Chain A
Amino acid sequence: MLIKKKADLTYADITPKTLYMGRRNFLLGLGITGAAVKLYKNLPSVFAASPTGSVPVPLNGVTQSKYTTTGEKITPVEDVTHYNNYYEFGVDKDAPAKNAVNFVTKPWSVSVEGEVAKPRKFTLDEIMHLAPLEERVYRHRCVEAWSIVVPWIGYSLSTILNLVEPTPKAKFVAFQSYYDIKQMPLGPEAGIQLPYVEGLCLDEAMNPLTLLCVGMYGETLPNQDGAPVRMVIPWKYGFKSIKSIVKIKLVSGMPPTTWNLYAPNEYGFYSNVNPKVDHPRWSQAKERRLGEFLRRDTLAFNGYGDFVASMYTGMDLRKWY
């Protein structure tokens, strides 16, 4: 029995000499191409002009709040300033840090109006001095199922609301963000209606945890994080914590909120953090804490139930999502 085995190598398998001799050139060519592509991608930043927008300045005399959260590792400021949902400055997470560099936030005023006895405008300077500034470490949970821990600076919103004296007709607080197509040319591509609006029930707005925020990490707010003044409502999904506030209005009916206008079956008015109520398209049971490898279990009310759960007793939180 003659078992014929195919020859291992034939003349056809021999690499042509020219190609063999040129292999190093080939690798060099690859390397040069790669470097050229990298340079081309980075060229725009080489020629960019210096930013002309507002920059954070240190805040002095800030005390630790009794409402600060303990036992959590604070997210590095680098992450919190380069991973933002601020669609007025672009829809990618790294876009606001790049595109908000020329955002000017001086002069700034916030109008507090509506169902109040003493409506008025506050300048940013006045807002900074209405009450002692406190530092509050809060967990911040995005509806996209990622979270961070941020040392915010400000004071309870109730301070300013009490100053303007809401009338008995006031049942809700409506907020409105700054929007100017000149400073925010990417606004029309955001997909959501602008200016950004949000709202809270009056008791939610008066809750001591609800923070009128003017700074973070010991400084005033960076542009991409909602300079110069924003809300932080730690037991709700992050999109409720409206940025760059220009108007606060006390109203008698439930006010419109931007994400609810965009997709009413996905984003409710309350949007309390709730691992038992999923977003229609993804689960809310777990979250990715930035910097951690394994996903964590999401906590009801983002772990602030002790302070806020009493506002919702008897409410079907699946219905009132």
Chain B
Amino acid sequence: MKTLDSILKSKWTKVFLFVLCLAPLGELTWMIFTGGLGPNPINDVEHFTGDWTIRFICITLAVTPLREILRQPQLIRFRRMLGLYAFFYGSLHFTTWFAIDNFFNFHDISKDIVKRPFITVGFTAFVLMIPLAITSTKGMVRRLGYKKWQFIHRAIYITAILAVIHYLWLVKSDKTRPLRYGAVVAVLLLWRVGTWLRDRKKRQAQHARLAREAPSRIETAS
């Protein structure tokens, strides 16, 4: 596993991943310029960017479980990049809707955000990603202190759930795709609930053990 370790630690793995994450954008650009998008291209771009936003949210949420399951703590090095790509595709998705589909029509846009539940949750999911993007740097972790930073970044759990609901509420009759993402998000979040409970049990067991051992240690010390 020494080679895997050195691959994960290599700067070039990060570069490779960075370029790989641009592949969906590359595919989209290719489709736009070769007429590969159908008669309603704006809708197709919205769906494409939306799909990749929720995929990157899931991929980002998968890093922590995979670190533990695969015993590869080095995977943490990629989490920030993946999270920022989720924000990137989310921004493309939002901008397409805001600037191209609705062409900056603030009146219609704000009405939609307020009156259409699926847009309300989608907009909220996106807005919640903004503070996460802003506080993504190492400098920010230092400035905020880990506890505060951790608290802010837990918002991704809400974004993930809202993203699934956004998708579920916009489809006409075929609910299979949003429900599939829902299943993935559920597994990723339940894993965290599971480990939190397990670690809580461990902590409780530790405290109980120390409480039992401490009296005997005091005796021998004297």
Residues of chain A touching chain B, judged by Cβ–Cβ distance below 8 Å, are 19, 30, 34, 75, 78-80, 82-83, 87, 91, 93-94, 144, 146, 189-192, 262, 278, 281-283, 285-286, 288, 290-291, 293-295
Contact = CB atoms under 8 A, between A and B. Distances in A.
B37 to A, nearest CB: 10
A82 B38 contact: yes
B4 interface: no
B interface SS class: helix
Nearest to B39: A79
A143 B45 CA distance: 20
Contacts of A30: 19
B170 A281 contact: yes
Contact of B39 (A19, A83, A189, A191): A83
A253 B182 CA distance: 41
A297 B174 CA distance: 28
Nearest to A191: B173
A interface SS class: loop
A283 B38 contact: no
Nearest to A19: B12
Contacts, number: 61
B39 A291 contact: yes
Contacts of A75: 39
Given A281-B116, A282-B116, A290 B40 contact: yes
Contact of A93 (B26, B38, B102, B173): B38
Contacts of A262: 173
A319 B26 CA distance: 48
Contacts of A91: 173-174
Interface of B: 12, 19, 23, 26, 38-40, 42-43, 101-103, 108, 111-112, 115-118, 169-170, 172-176
A146 B115 contact: no
Contacts of A78: 39
Given A19-B12, A93-B38, A283 B174 contact: no
Contacts of B42: 288
Nearest to A97: B38
B111 to A, nearest CB: 7
B174 A93 contact: no
A82 B40 contact: no
Given A93-B40, A290-B39, A283 B112 contact: yes
A293 B101 CA distance: 8
Contacts of B19: 30
B177 to A, nearest CB: 10
B111 A144 contact: no
Contacts of A87: 173
Contacts of A144: 172
A30 B20 CA distance: 9
B108 A283 contact: yes
A188 to B, nearest CB: 12
Given A282-B116, A283-B115, A94 B38 contact: yes
Nearest to A81: B39
B212 to A, nearest CB: 51
Contact of A288 (B40, B174, B176): B40
A283 B12 contact: no
Contacts of A295: 101-103
B198 to A, nearest CB: 39
Given A82-B38, A192-B173, A281-B118, 14 more contacts: A78-B39, A80-B39, A83-B39, A87-B173, A93-B40, A146-B40, A146-B43, A189-B176, A191-B175, A278-B115, A282-B118, A283-B111, A283-B116, A286-B108
A295 B109 CA distance: 13
Given A30-B19, A281-B116, A281-B117, A189 B174 contact: yes
Kindly list the 9 A-B residue pairs having the minimum CB-CB distance in the complex, ordered from nearest.
A191-B173, A79-B39, A83-B39, A91-B174, A290-B39, A191-B174, A192-B173, A83-B38, A282-B116
A98 to B, nearest CB: 12
Residue of B26, B116, B173 with most partner-chain A CB within 10 A: B173
Contacts of B101: 288, 295
9 contacts: A34-B26, A80-B39, A82-B39, A83-B38, A146-B40, A281-B170, A283-B115, A290-B39, A295-B101
